[in-house]
Structure 1
Amino acid sequence: MVLAVSACADLDPTAQRTMTGAAGGAAGGALIGAMAGNAGLGAAIGAAAGGTGGFIWDRHVQSRDRAFQQGVATGRASAGQ
């Protein structure tokens, strides 16, 4: 477990968010799948859905950060005039 977590330290934020979403989705999917009778299929579907969700969330965070940095740059430029 420690090795798996330490391997994620060198990843870029996009990969970290995507993998976190996939791991969470796999865990949730396995639980739901176990109740439905097929934990493996549930984990696979959950991992795909969670990975997609993590990737979409990363794109949102990057867009928000770019907008913030653009606002900071605009504010600094107008303060210097």
Structure 2
Amino acid sequence: MRTMANIAVVLAVAGGLAGCGSSPMERSVSGGGVGAAAGVGIAAIAGAPILAGAAVGAAGGAVIGAVTNECQIDLGPRRPKNC
């Protein structure tokens, strides 16, 4: 049960960081962090190797963060001027 609580905390913190980033590099870094946290959580639940889950999640999150732009992400009422 303690493991599930730790996973929930990591995912909550990672979710809070997900909104950070206006440049492709910033979104890539925050996406990699969120992806790594999600990969760890999924690997822990599935019983898979934790480091492999973190690596796959980080790679996927970084790629998604790098290929998106501010106009494709719903940031709420404030939108960039060039959208």
TM-score, structure 1 length as denominator? 0.56
Which has the larger helix fraction?
1
Alignment of 1:1-81 (within 5 A): 13-35=23-45, 36-58=47-69, 61=71, 68=83
Report the residue type matching 2:66 in the other structure: F
RMSD between superposed Cα atoms in Å? 2.7
TM-superposed deviation, 1:26:
0.2
Q: Which stretches of structure 1, 4 residues or more, deviate above 3 A after TM superposition?
A: 65-68
Select between 28-37 and 47-56 the one with higher mean Cα deviation: 28-37
Report the residue type matching 1:23 in the other structure: G
Distance 2:50 2:71 in 1: 32
Larger Rg: 1
TM-superposed deviation, 1:66:
9.0
Identity rate of aligned residues, in percent? Answer: 31
TM-superposed deviation, 1:50:
0.3
Report the residue type matching 1:22 in the other structure: G
Gaps of 5+ in 1: 1-10, 69-81
Distance 2:22 2:67 in 1: 15
Kindly tell me the number of residue pairs found equivalent between the two proteins.
Answer: 56
Gaps of 5+ in 2: 1-20, 73-79
Report the residue type matching 1:42 in the other structure: G
TM-score, structure 2 length as denominator? 0.54
